[in-house]
Amino acid sequence: MAQATTVPTTGRAWHLIARPVGWPTDADFALREEPVRQPRAGEVLVRNRYLSLDPYMRGRMNDARSYVPPFRLDEAMTGDAVGEVLASEAEGLAPGDLVSHPFGWREFATLPARYASPLPAVGEVPVTAHLGVLGMTGLTAYVGLREIAKVREGDVVFVSGAGGAVGGAAGQLARLMGASRVIGSAGGAEKVRALTEELGFDAGIDYRAAPIGEQLPEAAPKGIDVYFDNVGGDHLEAALDVLNVHGRVAVCGSISGYNATRPPTGPRNLQLIVGKRLRVEGFLVSDHSELRSAFLAEVGPWLAEGKLVHRETVTDGIEQAVDAFLGMMRGVNTGKSLVRLDG
C-alpha cells in the first residue's frame, strides 16, 4: 500500500442524531470520534481539507422521499469535500493527490476510488474553487442558464439568491453568455452593494428592505426574459409578474421554504404562465454530469483570466461546521460556504 504519513487511528465526523422540525438546532447533531479505516483493494484514504455546505443538505435531514435519500440517524452525514490522499490501494491515485469526493462532514474518509476525482487542471485557481465556481455550484449555474433557460444574447436576466454561491455564479455567467442586463436580489445592503460593485450586476435588490414584488418592476423597466430561481415563494411570484412573453424560468431551488413548518403561500399568479406562454422548468445538476467537461472548458478560462469572481465564506474547524451550515441557511455567507480543516 502507498502511504504518505502516519495515519491517525481516529477522526471526527458530524452525525445527525435527530430529525429537525423547522430550523435545526445543535441538539440535532453530534460530533463523534470514529476509527479511521485503512483502505482495502480499490479504495483510498483521504484527509479532508475543505467541506462544502449546501442548502440541499437541509432536505436530507428530513425523513421524506426525495431525489436524494435522507441522512441516516447516528451516521456521518455526507456532502462534497476536497482532500488529500493519505493512503491508496487504487491504481491511478497516490498519496499527496488532491481529490474531490462526496464524503464530507468528517475529517477522514475511506472510500472506493471511483468516487474520488482528481482536481481538473484548469490553470492557476484556488483549490476551494473546485467546490465553488468550478464545482457543483458553478455547474448548477451553468446548467440552469445554458441548458434550462437557454440564455441568449441580449436577454434581461434576474437571479435571486445572488449573494450566495450559485446565484453569484449565475449572474456573472449570464453576463458572460451575452445577457444585456443582469439583476440580482440578496438580503442586506452590503450584499447588494457587492453585486453591482464587485460582481458586475447592473442592478441589485435588497429583498429585506422592501417586498421584492415592489422593487423588481423598478429594476426591470423592460421586463425580464429569464429568471434563475434560487428562492421560490414571493421571489417567484415577483418574477412571474415581470417576465416578458415567452420568458423562461430555471427553477434551481426554493430556499425560502426549506425550514418552514408550513408551506409558503404562493406564487398566487401562476395563471400568467399561460397568457405569457412562459416555460418554467426545474432541474437537478446531478442529471447533467455530461456537461461537466464543456462547463470546465468554458468557465475554467474565465476564472483563470479573472473574468469570473470566486467568492467564499470559509469557517475554520470541523467543530464549527453545524453553526456554519445554519449561518449559511440564514444568509451569513457571501459566495460559497466552506469549512476548512487543519491539515
Site residues for ligand NAP per CB under 6 A? 54-56, 137, 140, 161, 163-167, 186-188, 191, 230-231, 252-253, 255-256, 283-285, 328, 331, 333, 337
What's the grid cell of residue 189?
445592503
Q: How many CB atoms lie within 10 A of CB 218?
A: 10
What's the grid cell of residue 25?
438546532
Pairwise CA distance, residues 179 & 168, whole Å: 15
Shorter beta-carbon distance to ligand NAP: residue 10 or 289: 289
Q: Where are the alpha helices (DSSP H) in 177-280?
A: 189-197, 212-219, 233-242, 272-275
Coil, strand or helix at 84? strand
Length of the chain: 343
Pairwise CA distance, residues 201 & 2, whole Å: 48
CB of 214 to ligand NAP, least distance (A): 15
CB of 331 to ligand NAP, least distance (A): 3
DSSP state letters, 266-327: ----TTHHHHTT-EEEE--GGGGGGGHHHHHHHHHHHHHTTSS---EEEEESGGGHHHHHHH
CB of 120 to ligand NAP, least distance (A): 19
- DSSP β-bridge partners for residue 52: 338
CB of 156 to ligand NAP, least distance (A): 21
Shorter beta-carbon distance to ligand NAP: residue 48 or 140: 140
CB of 7 to ligand NAP, least distance (A): 32
Shorter beta-carbon distance to ligand NAP: residue 284 or 294: 284
Shorter beta-carbon distance to ligand NAP: residue 20 or 188: 188
CB of 38 to ligand NAP, least distance (A): 34
Pairwise CA distance, residues 144 & 78, whole Å: 24
- DSSP β-bridge partners for residue 15: 30, 76
Return left, alpha or beta for 193; rule: phi > 0 is left, psi -120 to 50 is alpha, else beta.
Answer: alpha
Dihedrals φ, ψ of 63, to 5°?
Answer: -90, 70
CB of 314 to ligand NAP, least distance (A): 13
CB of 234 to ligand NAP, least distance (A): 8
Shorter beta-carbon distance to ligand NAP: residue 87 or 192: 192
Shorter beta-carbon distance to ligand NAP: residue 68 or 297: 68
Q: Is the distance from CB of 212 to CB of 222 less than 8 angstroms?
A: no
What's the grid cell of residue 172?
456573472
Residue whose grid cell is 460556504: 337
Shorter beta-carbon distance to ligand NAP: residue 253 or 267: 253
Q: Is the distance from CB of 334 to CB of 309 less than 8 angstroms?
A: no
Shorter beta-carbon distance to ligand NAP: residue 36 or 251: 251
Shorter beta-carbon distance to ligand NAP: residue 83 or 163: 163
CB of 113 to ligand NAP, least distance (A): 25
